Amino acid sequence: MRIVLFGPPGSGKGTQGELMAKRTGFPRISTGDLLRTAVQKRTPIGRQAEAVMKEGRLVSDEIVTGLVRERLADPDCRGGYILDGFPRTIAQAEALAFLDGERPEVVIGIEVPAEVLIDRLSGRRICSSCQAVYNLALQPPRLEGRCDLCQGPLVQRPDDTPEVIRERIRVYHEQTERLKDHYLRRGSYRAVDGGGTIEEIFQRIVRLLDGEIGMSGRKWVRA
Ligand code: ADP
Ligand code: ZN
């Protein structure tokens, strides 16, 4: 099974992806996280990606597809996996079909009005040691500026500034949104209302997966 989380920046893919990973036992593969790790480690890919990400543009299909190809080869992906932030272009969707096209797939489109996205992203803070995600308005840490899990300092992502947020949303409309039609035509797209609390949205996703593909609670199958 492959679950693709689809939606604009700020729609909650990462948060919901983490919850789904815990629930299903499938690993969550976030190309944003893979790229940020490469940037931190100053690998050749990281060096190339850094400037592009800071501007809110898309890293090249070749680079991102290469990272995904490597990650999918890991043994923990054999039983199934959750993609977060990939594919983001038609070329990436085609590359994925080529890499692992036989696997049953469901695309969960988290749909959120534009105003909400900007609020969510500008309030987002990330733990600089364990990458846990907080939101000043919606999901504040217990102690200001500190991670609940590891006490690490919370920082703002360099691409969560108002100007770059606008650019990311523009790029989403220009390059990524059209994938919805692509997946609708294939019959694998399922829309989920992305408004409300984290738990409410998660329950919608769980219900959808339960109903659509007979995955039930903890018994979600590794197939
Ligand atoms: P968000 O979905 O909130 O914009 P991500 O953490 O998923 O954040 O991605 C951050 C940045 O990483 C993107 O703005 C883009 O520059 C790069 N990136 C992530 N995934 C991809 C992808 N599939 N293709 C191209 N660039 C990507
Ligand atoms: Zn932490």
Q: Which domains does the chain have, with CATH numbers?
A: 2-216 (3.40.50.300)
Helix, strand, coil share (%) of the chain residues, nearest 5: 50, 15, 35
In the three-class reduction of DSSP (H, G, I as helix; E, B as strand; rest coil), residue 199 is classed as helix
- Report the C-alpha gap between 89 and 100 in whole angstroms: 17
Residue corresponding to tokens 């959120």: 112
Interhelix angle 31-41/44-54, nearest 10 degrees: 120
CA angle at 189 for the pair 186 and 195, rounded to the nearest 5°: 165
Ligand 1 atom with minimal separation from the 172 CA? 4
- Report the C-alpha gap between 166 and 148 in whole angstroms: 29
Active site residues: 13, 88, 124, 157, 168
Ligand nearest to C-alpha 146: 2
**Beta strands at 154-155 and 81-84: parallel, antiparallel or unpaired:** unpaired
The predicted model gives 101-127 an average pLDDT of 93
* Contact assessment for residue 138 and residue 123, using Cβ atoms and an 8 Å cutoff: yes
**What pTM value is reported for the model?**
0.91
Least trusted range by pLDDT, from 31-35, 43-47, 132-136, 219-223: 219-223
Ligand nearest to C-alpha 164: 1
53 lines ligand 1 (CB under 6 A): yes
- For atom 5 of ligand 1, the residue with the nearest CA is 32
DSSP state for residue 140 in the 8-state scheme: -
pLDDT, tens digit, for every residue of 18-38? 999 999 999 999 999 999 999
In the numeric block, which tokens belong to residue 63?
Answer: 């680079």
Residue corresponding to tokens 């090249």: 60
Q: Of the candidates 70, 72, 45, 77, which has an alpha carbon nearest to the alpha carbon of residue 59?
A: 45
- For atom 9 of ligand 1, the residue with the nearest CA is 32
For the chain, give the percent of residues with pLDDT over 70: 95
Q: Which amino acid is at 103?
A: R
Q: What pLDDT does 216 receive?
A: 42
The predicted model gives 62-90 an average pLDDT of 97
Q: In what order do the strands lie in the sheet with 154-155?
A: 133-135, 124-127, 154-155
Q: Of the candidates 58, 60, 67, 68, which has an alpha carbon nearest to the alpha carbon of residue 100?
A: 68
The predicted model gives 187-211 an average pLDDT of 93
In the three-class reduction of DSSP (H, G, I as helix; E, B as strand; rest coil), residue 68 is classed as helix
56 lines ligand 1 (CB under 6 A): yes
- For atom 16 of ligand 1, the residue with the nearest CA is 53
Q: Which amino acid is at 171?
A: V
In the numeric block, which tokens belong to residue 38?
Answer: 């490469």
Distance (Å) from CA 70 to ligand 1 centroid: 17
The predicted model gives 120-126 an average pLDDT of 94
Sign of CA dihedral 51, 56, 59, 60: negative
